[in-house]
Amino acid sequence: MIFGNWRPLGMVVGSTLFGYTDALQLRAGGGAVRALLLIVAIALLVYGLLLWGRGRRGTAGVMLVLAALFAGWFSATDEVPSDFVHMTPYVTTLLVLALAAQRLSPPAADGLPYRKGQAE
Cα separation of 35 and 12, whole Å? 24
φ, ψ (nearest 5 deg) of residue 49? -70, -35
What's the pLDDT score for residue 61?
A: 92
How do residues 5-42 score in pLDDT, each as one tens digit?
A: 778 888 888 888 888 888 887 777 777 888 888 888 99
Contact between 44 and 67 (Cβ < 8 Å):
yes
Mean pLDDT of the chain: 83
Crossing angle for the helix pair 8-27 and 30-53, to the nearest 10 degrees: 140
What's the pLDDT score for residue 119?
A: 64
What's the pLDDT score for residue 11?
A: 84
Angle 87-90-66 from CA coordinates, rounded to 5°? 85
